[in-house]
Structure 1
Amino acid sequence: MELDQIRIEISDTDQQLLGLLSKRRALALAVAEAKLAQNKPIRDQKREQELLVSLIEKGKPLGLDAGYVTKLYHVIIEDSVLQQQAKVQGQLNGENGPVCRVAFLGRQGSYSYWATQKYFTRRAEKLIEIGCDSFNEIVQAVETGHADYAVLPIENTSSGSINEVFDLLQHTRLSIVGELTHPIKHCLMGLPGTNLANIRQICAHPQVIAQCSNYLQSLSQVKIEYCEASSDAFERVRQAKDLSVVAIGGEEGGALYGLEVLGRDLANQKDNVSRFIVVARKAIAVAKAIPAKTTFIMYTGQQPGALVDALLVLKQHGISMGKLESRPIPGNPWEEMFYVDVLANLEDYAMTRALDELNRITRFVKVLGCYPSEDVSPTQVQS
């Protein structure tokens, strides 16, 4: 066969694959309806494991190795789980409308922009993007009704917690209604024709600079320009029209501004992932069929053993803690508020009892939100 003919057949095959993937997603959503009617959990990892084993065996005579099949279906299964959860939550809380207004940091091309796209494409037919210049502006957009939701980065595997966001959560009336993780792949981006040897200025968000500190330390005679978001960094490079000015950010984002990749994998850690939270004016209920997280803050006071006593309450009620973060209380020197993520539904009996007890033994407890967990761990099969 001629090369052109082979490529035509590949395109035809790809079109068929897309049709089949669309059909499979529709069937997965139908499964969610059936599970909800039968009061069954959305995820059934035993069934997933059986499915993977069967598919691996069926793929062998077709020349498809186990690693290829497993990797492919991990993506498909994750998509099915998240699509099903979004559908169930939409029905329960009336979330999935035709239009959704979402505030996020930066403009098109920022990491928060891509996280917003990733989360809300499962929940709204049309997305109205509201780019903001600061975390405070994002929160205000939702509090004043200008936006329905906000997407906020809260922690990163390389640079740790984003303290400004944690501090905003102390005072806002908003509730956490969702979460997602998003891989962060930092690239050095410049105008076409840029030579690495001639770089004199790098534009990037402070969090990006923290995550790429090892790489930046290897450079000499280079000025660091702090930006409000990665999209702002890209725009500065485009506007400068100077081949000595570059930016650090995502490859897809930089391409929107006409920039080219000069270097990849700049983060201190190879697996660089950011966790984002979604906040809204109204709290939501999480369906029993979906794994849930609850986030709350508490002030235990300064007496010895107060924090230990509070954490023992969670242990005694069989509640797993996913995160514990401390932040200073403004106006109270050397005193701290603790942020706690637990793997529990706010409506669970054990969680209700634990919060009642915490209210008795601590100075202050405030629930920031109960929301579906989007941690979809890959189903493992024996080799």
Structure 2
Amino acid sequence: MRIGYQGIPGSYSESATLQYLKLKQIRSEDAELIGMDTFIESTNKLLAGEIDLAVMPIENSTTGLITRTLDLFRYQPVAASEEIYEHVQHTLWGVEGSRIEDLEEVYSHPEALSQTVDFFETHSHIQPVTYIDTAQSAKYIKELDDSSKAALASQRAGELYQLTPLRRGIQAEKTNTTRFFVMEKIDEETAIGDFLTENIKSFPERTRMMLYVETAHKPGALAQLLNTFNLFNCNLEGLDARPIKDKPFNYGFFIEVDLAEVSIDPTILWKTLEHSTEYIQLIGLFEPKQLLINFL
């Protein structure tokens, strides 16, 4: 099994991937973990069949949906089969002899920088610098060996690249957690209604569904769609708008619903949803995981 993730060893995506192996009881020798430079590369290799799964961050408890990854799934034959939660604690790492008061630049992934804005507001002499990802930031700081520069990265990354911790847990929220999807390629010829029926029959624990939909640009179109969820007793868990490419000020929606109380055939549900939309796509069907993390 070939599993792709964004980054290098020590990245949060790698940590989520290792968590997935443990969850599914997959032996490390039976899985090839492949680090990618970008989320686009992960998606493209999944579509090309060069990897079997892609572990992708899709939401953060501090900053919300990670739209640059979710947008890559739109109009593509991919769907999530699992969700993983990763508690994200950022440590400020420097080389030996570094001190916070002497720092000039801190490198990290833009998502990590956005989760630590409070630190930079209280340390205005430090410039946040966007870099490829958290782990590669740590590796880069080690290579620079410059006491005026530091990185925001995980505990594992700092230890892997032999850096000195300058301050731990500098994220704005102690409960800072990232949600990952484990994405698979699905057969483009498969009718989604049938796909849902077979999956729910084989995996009854998969009661959470995420969709991407586009409705007619007219009054009441979205309300009609949402009424369908109410009709079939689907609990609405999330609704987020995204601009549609080449259609200024027209929006599609990522919608997440709980299917646990739905008793009707999923094929009927899907056909009803199709009737209420101009475009509809399954983004994921998975078992909802409890957030079992000790934030102390």
For the criterion TM > 0.5, the same-fold answer is yes
Gaps of 5+ in 2: 188-194
Secondary structure of the structure 2 residue equivalent to 1:332: coil
Asked if the contact 1:344/1:351 (under 8 Å) is kept, the reply is no
Is 2:104 the counterpart of 1:203? no
Alpha carbons of 1:152 and 1:275: their partners in 2 closer, same or farther (altered >3 Å)?
same
**CA deviation after TM superposition for structure 1 residue 156, in Å:** 0.3
Match of 1:381 in 2: none
Asked if the contact 2:85/2:291 (under 8 Å) is kept, the reply is no
CA distance in 1, matches of 2:99, 2:204: 54
**Greater fraction of residues in helix:** 1
Aligned partner of 2:22 among 112, 121, 133? 121
Gaps of 5+ in 1: 1-99, 379-383
Match of 1:58 in 2: none
CA distance in 1, matches of 2:257, 2:292: 17
Q: Which amino acid aligns with 2:15?
A: W
Asked if the contact 1:181/1:276 (under 8 Å) is kept, the reply is yes
Deviations, residues 125-163 of structure 1 (Å, cap 9, x unaligned)? 222111111110011121112211001000101111111
Q: What does 1:1-383 align with in structure 2 at a 5 Å threshold?
A: 100-123=1-24, 124-125=26-27, 126=29, 127-282=31-186, 285-286=199-200, 287-344=202-259, 349=264, 351-375=266-290
Deviations, residues 4-40 of structure 1 (Å, cap 9, x unaligned)? xxxxxxxxxxxxxxxxxxxxxxxxxxxxxxxxxxxxx
Asked if the contact 1:319/1:351 (under 8 Å) is kept, the reply is no
Secondary structure of the structure 1 residue equivalent to 2:123: coil
TM-score (norm 2): 0.88
CA distance in 1, matches of 2:173, 2:289: 22
CA distance in 1, matches of 2:136, 2:130: 10
TM-score (norm 1): 0.69
Alpha carbons of 1:118 and 1:252: their partners in 2 closer, same or farther (altered >3 Å)?
same
CA distance in 2, matches of 1:108, 1:315: 44
Match of 2:190 in 1: none
Among the aligned pairs, what percent are the same residue?
24
Match of 1:17 in 2: none
Q: Note the aligned Cα RMSD (angstroms).
A: 2.1
Q: Which amino acid aligns with 1:352?
A: T
Deviations, residues 145-198 of structure 1 (Å, cap 9, x unaligned)? 221100100010111111111211113222211111111111111122211211
Larger radius of gyration: 1
Alpha carbons of 1:350 and 1:267: their partners in 2 closer, same or farther (altered >3 Å)?
farther
CA distance in 1, matches of 2:251, 2:112: 27
**CA deviation after TM superposition for structure 1 residue 329, in Å:** 0.6
Deviations, residues 209-234 of structure 1 (Å, cap 9, x unaligned)? 11111111211232222111111100
Q: Which amino acid aligns with 1:109?
A: G
Asked if the contact 1:152/1:277 (under 8 Å) is kept, the reply is yes
Alpha carbons of 1:376 and 1:109: their partners in 2 closer, same or farther (altered >3 Å)?
closer
